[in-house]
A = this chain, B = another copy of it.
């Protein structure tokens, strides 16, 4: 992969990369289509990265479908699909990890210790292997985006980070490979996540500035309309990801949440300008 990427760079090609864990859905395909528009050659990486899963998380049964992914990625316009084995990415004796402090320690990082260490490490490796001019990520993983922006800036990695809006099902549910875990009733109830985010948007537009008040309303909505167990609901500064008590005019705000339906943990978010 690295030799191919180097050869492409030397012939003046502009390379884009779309890092994924596979089981591609319309969200991923939108990333690939945009990547294709922004470059001469698009590489999609497909790697279920063990180091970003906790010991009690769903690594072993994370959904996989290589042939389907290959076909979907190709149809969306990818030129290369890079799908290494875990034993190639982390051979015996492997011992180097990239830590992004601060922005990685809140929200998902608090609920999933070690998750962003795994993300930062594998993204650094994938960027070194694919040598892209532009790397494309989905806004769905809002904190991942913040961590990667920080990582790229701090380690002086020569790549443009491009972030693509969330793609949603017709009823508002954010596309996710993990939606496949939901049973019919959970799937129906899961629409409440986006409804709670829209509620927050309405309240902020109506002039509510006290975050705890908005979060309480979101909680009530979710609890009243689903059996989902709320992991967190957060209103934070969109750059630092530090939680806010009160909103200020013209502040860019990330409203995000994580809710469990049975053993399936879903996340969603919305970015708002107050």
Point out residues on A near B: beta carbons under 8 Å. 2, 6, 9-10, 12, 93-103, 120-121, 124-125, 128-129, 131, 150-151, 154-158
Contact = CB atoms under 8 A, between A and B. Distances in A.
22 contacts: A2-B158, A6-B158, A9-B9, A9-B10, A10-B12, A93-B102, A93-B150, A94-B154, A95-B100, A95-B102, A96-B98, A96-B120, A97-B98, A97-B99, A98-B99, A121-B155, A124-B155, A125-B155, A125-B156, A128-B155, A128-B156, A128-B158
A82 to B, nearest CB: 12
**For chain A, what secondary structure do more than half of its interface residues adopt (helix, strand, loop), or is it mixed?**
mixed
Contacts of A102: 93, 95
A12 B11 CA distance: 10
Given A124-B155, A158-B2, A150 B96 contact: yes
A24 to B, nearest CB: 24
Given A95-B101, A121-B155, A124-B155, 18 more contacts: A2-B156, A6-B158, A9-B9, A9-B10, A10-B10, A10-B12, A93-B102, A94-B154, A95-B103, A95-B154, A96-B100, A96-B150, A97-B99, A98-B155, A125-B154, A125-B155, A128-B155, A129-B156
Contacts of A93: 102, 150
Number of copies: 2
A98 B101 contact: no
Contact of A99 (B96, B154, B158): B96
Contacts of A125: 154-156
A124 B156 CA distance: 9
Contacts of A103: 95
Contacts of A121: 155
Given A2-B156, A155-B128, A150 B99 contact: no
A97 B94 CA distance: 17
Given A128-B155, A157-B128, A95 B6 contact: no
A2 B157 CA distance: 9
A10 B102 CA distance: 36
Contacts of A98: 96-99, 155
A103 B96 CA distance: 10
A129 B98 CA distance: 17
Contacts of A2: 156, 158
Contacts of A156: 2, 125, 128-129
Contacts of A10: 9-10, 12
Contacts of A150: 93, 95-96
